[in-house]
Amino acid sequence: MLTAFARAFKTPDLRKKLLFTLGIIVIYRIGTHIPIPGVDYTSVQQCVDEASGKQGIFGLVNMFSGGALLQITIFALGIMPYITASIILQLLTVVIPRLEALKKEGQSGTAKITQYTRYLTVALAVLQGTGLVATARSGALFSGCTVAGNVVPDRSIFTTVVMVVTMTAGTAVVMWLGELITDRGIGNGMSILMFISIAATFPAALWAIKQEGSLADGWIEFGTVMLVGFVMVGLVVFVEQAQRRIPVQYAKRMIGRRSYGGTSTYIPLKVNQAGVIPVIFASSLLYIPALIAQFSDSKSGWRTWIEANLADPSAPTHLVLYFFLIVFFAFFYVAISFNPEEVADNMKKYGGFIPGIRAGRPTAEYLSYVLNRITWPGSLYLGLIALVPTMALAGFGANQNFPFGGTSILIIVGVGLETVKQIESQLQQRNYEGFLR
């Protein structure tokens, strides 16, 4: 594998793409450390130190921003507005006929949907930036911090507008950097930036576990967490690569004097067909009531109930709801992203059939049956992996930002595998050996 990396850098055009990608990553990481105007940087650092390991409901969003959210930097919103906008457009494509027609138009339609995604990203960035500023001004961003009210000393409308505009512009720049990587670098730019954001939080989280440990100066806890991490990565790689291959045979057709078809292929249905989307959906849904509760009367009964049962990650109600929401959204997302009837119609149009299954409606019913069966283990796997941080919290005494949490591992492994496959395919085009020999 190291030899393959060396050969990749020896190939001129591939080396340019890799170096360009690394350069964009450096720019992105620099932006996550530049504070926005109107923020008291000293108070922010003090609150971050006091709230270490106790980020509460903002932990997931802070992870996706690479730690920039709680630092309130120009890239504080990170890639989250774009992810949310992409998911919304993908869901609306199934509901709105106009978007569905654009999706079927090919490259021109995809470009139009991408443009809509950009507009929606900016709109969501304005909303989320306004919410972040309001949360920081009220002191709810750093609950329990002694100087939380001093994070935004100037509360004038002008300062608020400048802060929101700065964070919105930062989100637009992040979106642009991701598209640059996609066009001129290696891999999907947005996925790469998300990968870097999550990976950037690992060293500090691992070192915090070592410092907080009590056995042999924390090295035993550190080693145990690393071992658990390697086991989890291996498990996630195994499941993410698992797929059910449905054989497809194409009949021979004579067009003029040439013979077409007569080949056999397969439809790969992944066990985890939905990816990490159900985890993001479930986390966001549980995040909303906890966020609303931050702005209500501290003595209200419903806020007390939400903080005790929904905002607390170790609460039984939170765990049960989180698990069942992940299972539900796994089936929901698979149902809207894979259309068995459309696949069956396309196979019938080009003379394809599944051996032993009649073309048309029986094929669609068979695909739906197989998809439902493999989605069950995939959804249960997602639910169990997502609960790893809570189990670590109880087993190791780790903080809520356990580095090998389910969401972070799923994203890192998924993006890493996809990027390695793209580099490998480009190496194979030049007759080099790939990463997997």
Mean pLDDT of 412-419: 82
**Cβ atoms of residues 76 and 68 within 8 Å:** yes
Mean pLDDT of 391-418: 67
Least confident of 57-61, 117-121, 320-324: 57-61
**Cβ atoms of residues 63 and 78 within 8 Å:** no
Note whether residue 363 is domain-resident: yes
Q: Which residues pair with 266 in a beta bridge?
A: 247
Please tell me whether residues 43 and 185 are part of one structural domain.
yes
Of all residues in the chain, what percent are helix, strand and coil, respectively (each to 5)? 70, 5, 25
Mean pLDDT of 169-185: 91
**Residue 335 pLDDT:** 85
Note whether residue 220 is domain-resident: no
| pLDDT of 142 above 80 | no
Please tell me whether residues 62 and 190 are part of one structural domain.
yes
Give the span between the Cα atoms of 208 and 53, in whole angstroms.
9
Determine the structural domain holding residue 117 and report its residue range.
1-198
Please tell me whether residues 310 and 372 are part of one structural domain.
yes
Q: In the chain, how many domains are there?
A: 2
**Cβ atoms of residues 141 and 70 within 8 Å:** yes
Q: What's the CATH code of the domain at 397?
A: 1.10.3370.10
- 3-state SS, residue 71: helix
Give the span between the Cα atoms of 276 and 406, in whole angstroms.
9
Please identify, among 198, 228, 254, the residue that sits at the C-terminal boundary of a domain. Answer: 198
Burial of 215 (0-12, 13-18, 19+ CB in 10 A): exposed
Please tell me whether residues 248 and 191 are part of one structural domain.
no
Note whether residue 219 is domain-resident: no
**Residue 436 pLDDT:** 52
Q: Over the stretch 332-346, which tens digit does the pLDDT of each residue have?
A: 888 888 888 888 888
Q: Over the stretch 259-286, which tens digit does the pLDDT of each residue have?
A: 665 677 888 888 888 877 888 778 777 7
Quick one: which of 245, 244, 304, 295 has its CA closest to 271?
A: 244
**Residue 347 pLDDT:** 83
Query: Which letter does DSSP use for residue 270 in this model?
Result: E
Please tell me whether residues 169 and 271 are part of one structural domain.
no
| pLDDT of 169 above 90 | yes
Please tell me whether residues 139 and 251 are part of one structural domain.
no
Note whether residue 228 is domain-resident: no
Q: Give the C-alpha distances (Å, rounded to integers) separating 302 from 251, 319, 431.
A: 64, 19, 64
Give the number of C-alpha atoms closer than 13 A to the C-alpha of residue 32, restricted to the C-beta side.
Answer: 26
Q: Over the stretch 218-240, which tens digit does the pLDDT of each residue have?
A: 778 778 778 877 888 888 888 88
Q: If you compute the radius of gyration of the chain from its CA atoms, what whole number of angstroms results?
A: 24
Arithmetic mean of pLDDT over the chain: 79
**Cβ atoms of residues 64 and 197 within 8 Å:** yes
Confidence of residue 168 (pLDDT cuts 50, 70, 90): very high
Quick one: which of 29, 27, 62, 65 has its CA closest to 48?
A: 62
| pLDDT of 5 above 80 | no
Mean pLDDT of 128-151: 76
| pLDDT of 63 above 60 | yes
Q: Which one has a higher pLDDT value, 398 or 341? A: 341
